[in-house]
Amino acid sequence: MLAIVAPGQGAQTPGFLSPWLEESTFATRLAWLSTVANLDLVHYGTEADAETIRDTAIAQPLLVAAGMLTALELFPSPADGFRRTGVAAGHSVGEITAAGAVGVLSAEQAMVFVRERGKAMAEASALEPTGMSAVLGGDPEEVLAALDNLGLTPANNNGSGQVVAAGSLTMLAKLKENPPAKARIIPLSVAGAFHTQYMLPGKQHLEKLAGAITTHAPRTRLLSNADGQVVQSGDEYLQRLVNQVTLPVRWDLCMQTMTDLGVTGLLELPPAKTLTGIAKRNMKGVELFTLNTPDDLPGAADFVARHSDLEEHHARTTNMPWLMVVSPAKGEFQRADGLADGADLEPGAVIGSVANLRESIQVHAENGGQVTEWLVEPGDLVSPGQPLVRLYPAQEI
């Protein structure tokens, strides 16, 4: 199974888009997205220095545009990309890249959303002196306890002994002075405490905009940073994008879901290195590919072909997505009381729950409909994205 992932802020480097501008289709599309974002992404991706593109309001739109457009270079026909990709995910702002790539948002919607996200987070960062530091090594429980004692947030959990702490610069300095046993503290070059309550003004701004955005259901499995769950509703994913501004990134759980799904190959979109580096430590046995320049496209196409499971895709998409309700996570399925074949469900109705050692998750029929066939039995162990029930669409009056 093929996973395609998009990196987050901090992955950008000066000039990383220069090789791509030699591709005429890429150059034309980047000029269009520059217009949509009201930013000269050509300049920022080719000529601007590291300090300039560190600016949150620039870095975020630049990364999303780069990821979506290189995905189009890899899959000139988006339908082919949906057909070959078993699961997609993004780290932090990379979630917007993933949402655009799998059809939840249009490219233009994604660019407007990330433009406003970058600006709002930059403005929120200017309100108080905050930042982020990587905590490498140490006992995980001791690390989390140390952060809690200092009022810091584990804003990114990247697995394998890598947590990113976020909060006030004063508390981050205290953490560096007195780190947990066997842990190293590395201050990060970021503008503020992302994915914490310090970003609440940014979330509030995006909340106002989200109501005007029309979404579509993902065209392949799409994971959420909040909990690593498979999300099948476009509206729900958009709300998660809004909420994630103030919530920690649980990339460790995203990787666990990819492992549960049976991912064999993980391809990272440009600027690629960060997520494949994390996967190397956490997803043993999974083949990795970094797509960084047009010269990498032939190798990427071969990688995609070797890890695509077209039969699995056919089985998953024989029925329209909105006729199926799928499991959001790995666990034991329990059906809601009183639901049998023929039951009529209102939009958003609970069909059951999936429980594992970490949590119990309610499963909803987002669009409603009539139960035509249960595909699992109560007590069955299910995997992320596994179909649970087939529904006949509700008739509109």
Active site amino acids: 92, 195
The structure tokens listed for 183 are 């842990």
| Alpha-carbon span 27 to 40, nearest angstrom | 12
| Alpha-carbon span 40 to 67, nearest angstrom | 16
- Coil/strand/helix, residue 253: helix
What residues pair up with 166 in beta bridges, in sequence order? 132, 153
The structure tokens listed for 116 are 């406003």
DSSP string, 210-244: HTT------SSEEB-TTTS-B---HHHHHHHHHHT
| Alpha-carbon span 352 to 337, nearest angstrom | 8
Q: Which of 61, 62, 85, 68 is nearest to 14 (CA)?
A: 62
Answer positive or negative: Cα dihedral of 78, 245, 259, 312.
negative
